[in-house]
Amino acid sequence: MRTALLTFTTGGRYDAMADLVRSNRDAYCVRHGYTHLVHAGGPYGPEPGRYYSLQRLRYVIDCFEGDAFDLVWVLNVAAVIMRSEIPVTSLLPLDGPADVFLVRAVGALNAGSLVVRRSAQSLAWMRYMIEHSPGQSHEQAALMATETHPEHARVLHVLPCPSLNSYRYELYPEHRGEVGCSNDYQPGHFVLHFPGLPYEQREALVRDALAEAT
């Protein structure tokens, strides 16, 4: 199966973070025979003003329509692969009907670490997400809506935590009640992600995580 890991930014200082995590992801892809795709330096696609994660889905659509890959792992730039020996494909029930794999965090589906397998139904799901997400807040609403959508629900498979994503909940005062839950980061978890924090704090945390990654 032709598998890629996608690192995607649309310019600005997050390009520097893409450079920071690149060696971690390059080495991971070499180890497992994957391709590391990097888009940085500016917007992507016909609607450059759209929220970055929707431009990112457009990038995946183009990869699939160009018959370049069978599977793309979309991983937010402020995330570190902590255990490089784990192939992401080993975490996925690829013998089932689903083609979009993700986890649930704090009661919501999370697209910060998302795997998409090429199929007609995954392409339709990504187009639905783009069409029904005019802004950042709408993207989460559209994602949650697909879980019960009569056509798109079957494409989703929610994996158990902490398979694709972990957090350090002590960093988030509003989520400290989640400390100790299944995707509160512990050594041995696969991915450590730092969403929603100021850039300078994220960069420092990413650097520390990279120093601990194996």
Q: 1-37: b or e for each residue (b if 16 or more CB lie within 10 Å)? A: eebbbbbbbbeeebbebbebbeebbeebbeebebebb
Supply the range of the domain harboring residue 151: 3-212
Closest listed residue to residue 84, CA positions, set 194, 188, 196: 188
pLDDT-derived band of residue 104, with 50, 70 and 90 as boundaries? confident
* Residue 183, number of CB atoms within 10 A of its CB: 23
Residue 194: predicted pLDDT: 94
At 178 the three-state DSSP class reads helix
108-117 and 71-75 beta bridge pairing: antiparallel
Q: Is the pLDDT of residue 69 over 90?
A: yes
pLDDT-derived band of residue 137, with 50, 70 and 90 as boundaries? low
Please give the DSSP secondary-structure letter assigned to residue 184. Answer: B
CA distances from 78 to 93, 143, 203 (A): 26, 20, 8
Residue 105: predicted pLDDT: 78
Number of domains, the chain: 1
Q: Is the pLDDT of residue 103 over 80?
A: yes
Q: Is the pLDDT of residue 70 over 70?
A: yes
CB distance 59 to 168 below 8 Å? no
- Average pLDDT (179-194) is 89
* Averaged confidence pLDDT in the chain: 92
Residue 50: predicted pLDDT: 79
* Residue 176, number of CB atoms within 10 A of its CB: 12
Dihedral sign from CA coordinates of 81, 198, 11, 134: positive
Which residues are CB-contacts of 78 (< 8 A; sequence separation ≥ 6)? 17, 193, 194, 195, 197, 202, 205, 206
Q: Is the pLDDT of residue 190 over 90?
A: yes
* Residue 200, number of CB atoms within 10 A of its CB: 9
pLDDT-derived band of residue 136, with 50, 70 and 90 as boundaries? low
CATH number for 56: 3.90.550.10
Q: Is the model more confident about 141 or about 37?
A: 37
The encoded tokens of residue 19 equal: 């450079």
pTM for this structure?
0.93
Which residues are CB-contacts of 130 (< 8 A; sequence separation ≥ 6)? 50, 54, 57, 58
- Average pLDDT (184-199) is 93
pLDDT-derived band of residue 71, with 50, 70 and 90 as boundaries? very high
Residue 48: predicted pLDDT: 77
List the beta bridge partners of residue 109.
Answer: 104
pLDDT-derived band of residue 109, with 50, 70 and 90 as boundaries? confident
- Average pLDDT (32-57) is 90
